Amino acid sequence: MRREIPASVIAVCGEIVAFYETHATLNSLFTYAGASGDPPEGTKRDKAIEWLRRMNNDKSADPLKVLGRILEPYMDGPLDPIWNQPLIESRARIKRVLAECDLQYLRGGSIVSSLGTPTRTLAEFIRDRDLGAIDCEFERAIANVGTDPREAVSAASNILESVCKVYIQDESLEMPAKQDLPSVWNIVRIHLGLDPSRVENQDLQRILTGMFSVVHGIGALRTHASSAHGSGRMTYKLEPRHARLAIHAAHTVALYVLESWHKRKADV
């Protein structure tokens, strides 16, 4: 369904794009993105905002598709935290205003609605091996690190748990009675043949063994320190750096499982 670019998104994105571009490169960027018509008159900011508004009024255009391609150069790719601090802050502003409008940016220049996606669509992403979309789910967990590290840990564990449950369902395996992360992970890793003792290379053995510890550690951290369970007498002093470690570790395991699953399907 066609959706227009919200006014607040136009204002923020127009300002950011105008800051980084010259008139010539701004024209080139919008043309590359599929923006229709000649460049509007005015300052760079006025030009960018007017061109985005024009996309909303052009019924033959897909405004969010155009916006996604415009934002792609700013949103994708690694950034040095020292030399690229202004762009890091710009990315954060873009993500924030999109989230306020129930939108999210996906790597590769796509902007999609975030309404109703956490459960149903995540399962679809996993089944489709849509790694870009799954990356975005982890990015949403990262977004909570600074303000709510407990919730971020819970989200990371939930994503990894979902990967395992979808695997079990699609492979017609028996779901364990206890459906926590260590239990579903044990079913998946056995079926995938992720057994360090069967790997000849000692370096890979160490990595696989460490991966098992990571999964159990993430599950335990979720139980003891995340928002998913009530706190007991001992309160974990969970800091953003701890949450970030858990999220990145869960992301690595999830993608390894999905890639191993893909290879297993291809070899059958």
CA angle 124-137-67, nearest 5°?
Answer: 95
pLDDT given for residue 132 in this prediction: 65
Give a yes or no: residue 121 inside a domain: no
In the structure encoding, which two tokens stand for residue 19, read together? Answer: 């800051």
pLDDT for 22: 96
The reply to whether 150 and 237 lie within a common domain is yes
Which residue has tokens 């364990």?
A: 176
Series of mean pLDDT values for 10-residue runs along the chain (268 residues): 88 96 96 94 96 94 92 86 84 90 83 52 66 71 77 86 90 91 92 83 86 89 62 64 89 88 82
Assess whether 42 and 108 both reside in one domain. yes
Residue 16's pLDDT is: 96
Specify the number of domains making up the chain: 2
φ, ψ (nearest 5 deg) of residue 103: -125, 160
CB 144 within 8 A of CB 152: yes
In SS3 terms, the chain reads as: CCCCCCHHHHHHHHHHHHHHCCHHHHHHHHHHHCCCCCCCCCCHHHHHHHHHHHHHHCCCCCHHHHHHHHHHHHHCCCCCCCCCHHHHHHHHHHHHHHHHCCEEEECCCEEEECCCCCCHHHHHHHHCCCHHHHHHHHHHHHHCCCCCHHHHHHHHHHHHHHHHHHHHHHCCCCCCCCCCHHHHHHHHHHHHCCCHHHCCCHHHHHHHHHHHHHHHHHHHHHHHHCCCCCCCCCCCCCCHHHHHHHHHHHHHHHHHHHHHHHHHHHHC
Handedness of CA 65, 67, 68, 70 (dihedral sign): positive
Residue 129 located in a structural domain: no
Q: Are residues 256 and 200 in the same domain?
A: yes
Cα separation of 108 and 173, whole Å? 34
Which structure tokens are listed for 232? 């007991």
Query: 């206890």: which residue's tokens?
Result: 178
Residues 95 and 148 in one domain: no
Q: Is residue 122, in this structure, part of any structural domain at all?
A: no
Domain contains 47: yes
Tell me, yes or no, whether 132 lies in a domain: no
pTM summary value: 0.54
Integer CA distances (angstroms), 267 to 172, 231, 261, in order: 18, 46, 10
pLDDT the model gives residue 236: 64
**Residue appearing with tokens 């570790």:** 249
SS (H, E, C) 233-265: CCCCCCCHHHHHHHHHHHHHHHHHHHHHHHHHH
Q: What was the pLDDT predicted at 120?
A: 38
* Same structural domain, 84 and 168: no
Inside any domain, residue 218: yes
Enclosing domain of residue 238: 137-267
How far apart CA 17 and CA 5 sit, in angstroms, is 15
Query: Does residue 163 lie within any of the structural domains?
Result: yes
- Contacts of residue 11, defined as CB under 8 A and 6 or more positions apart, other chains included, come to 49
